[in-house]
Amino acid sequence: MELVYRTVTLPLAVPWRIARGAKEEVELVHVSISHDGLTGHGEGAPNARYGESGVSAEVVLDHAGDLLGDDPFALEAIERRLADLPPHGAARAAVDAALHDLCGRLAGLPVWRLLGLDRTGPPTSYSVGIADPDETARLAQAAIGRGLCVLKLKLGAGDGLDVERVRAVRAVTNVPVTVDANEAWTADEALELLPALAALGVECVEQPLPAGDPGGARLKARSPVPIYLDEDCRTLADVAACAERGHGINIKLAKSGGIREALRMVHAARALGLGVMIGCMVESSLGIAAACSVAGLADRVDLDGNLLIAGDPWRGVELIDGVQVPANTPGLGVHEALSRTR
């Protein structure tokens, strides 16, 4: 098999602010793997929170091609060989997605079908970045106008207005609302905020505390809102500890290193009685298509990354009645947008 890759920088549709910072563009890595005249494509979204960048992805991808071998279906064996390279969730996710896309194309089946899964899962939430309460409500209304029917409000602004943001959104819509503090609160702050958020109908709170915070178990025991863990849960090795501090986990391919590890995490979570969210970074439709292929296993879906960027260079995922629906064509069902190939 032959692997080529490139890093791309895409502008965001609106500036994106969460508790730990703001950005106006996103750097992604696109991997293509060819075998027997067919080519599979995959994307990884390096995340600075986990010490990743496009450059660190390149270090891994420069060597990954030599370890692929000549059987794209030997996914476990390939994964074992790639384990000799430095850990890098985004680079691994890009390779894993490209291999799954290739296998699907070789078999003539969509990846979700190759995996024996449903084509679709629950409606996706749409993430509204941190803004003042009025702007948050305006962005929420705009999202609903685009056909989204679940909102995820980014909180943890540190300005004392987190509850006001939710209240402002509640004043303009009754759609389900979740929130994500991205590690910004202390346990005491969370215990003070969560009853007010519960009263406003917030369905779940994502990563209220810093990963590994010793107050996690205490917060879980007293929280009136289910807690989903994101930054606390990168790979299978993290899932068991999450049962002590959360009610569910947010699985992202860019953290897990791809579909195979994500599936292991889903099953481990179920064994521990945890809820499952399939989430994403800010990604193009190429990355979202891979996550869509396992979304049928989720209780909650947060696959809005492609809706947050301007000029998505890929096609293959369609938003239908609030659900991100993958194509019914072989592999991930993705192709490059015409504007980039002409």
Residues that bind Mg ion (CB under 5 A): 180, 206, 230
- Residue 207 beta carbon to Mg ion: minimum distance, rounded to whole angstroms: 5
Residue 206 Cβ vs Mg ion, minimum distance, rounded to whole Å: 5
249 or 332: whose CB is closer to Mg ion? Answer: 249
The b-or-e profile of 217-251 (16+ CB within 10 A means b, else e) is: ebbbeebebbbbbbbbbbbbebbeebbebbbbbbb
Pairing of strands 205-206, 177-180: parallel
CB of 229 to Mg ion, least distance (A): 9
Output b/e per residue, 149-168; b: 16+ Cβ within 10 A: bbbbbbbbbeeebbbebbbb
Residue 64 or 184 having the CB closest to Mg ion: 184
Cβ 252 to Mg ion shortest distance, Å: 8
Residue 230 CB contacts under 8 Å (≥ 6 apart), including other chains: 180, 182, 206, 207, 249, 250, 252, 279
Q: How far apart are CA 296 and CA 280, in angstroms?
A: 15
Smallest gap from Cβ 230 to Mg ion, in A, equals 4
Strands, E assignment, 168-309:
177-180, 205-206, 227-229, 248-252, 275-279, 300-301
The pairing of beta strand 300-301 with beta strand 314-315: unpaired
Q: Give the nearest distance from C-beta 250 to Mg ion in angstroms.
A: 6
- Residue 31 to residue 29: CA distance in whole angstroms: 7
Virtual torsion, Cα 293, 299, 302, 303, nearest 10 deg? 10
Which tokens in the block code for residue 280?
Answer: 């994403």
**Shortest Å distance, C-beta 60 to Mg ion:** 24
Quick one: 203 or 206, whose CB is closer to Mg ion?
A: 206
Residue number with CB closer to Mg ion (230 or 238):
230
Burial of 328 (0-12, 13-18, 19+ CB in 10 A): exposed
CB of 299 to Mg ion, least distance (A): 15
- The smaller minimum CB distance to Mg ion, of residues 79 and 238, is found at 238
Q: Are 29 and 97 in contact (CB under 8 A)?
A: no
Closer to Mg ion by Cβ: residue 152 or 315: 152
Determine the residue type at 302: D
Distance in Å, CB of 179 to Mg ion, minimum: 10
Measure the CA–CA gap between 114 and 330, rounded to whole angstroms: 9
- Considering beta carbons, is residue 1 or 251 the nearer one to Mg ion? 251
Cβ proximity to Mg ion, 98 vs 301, nearer residue: 301
Give backbone dihedrals phi and psi of 16, rounded to 5 degrees, phi first. -115, 120
Residue given tokens 């910072």 in the structure block: 21
- CB closer to Mg ion, 96 vs 232: 232
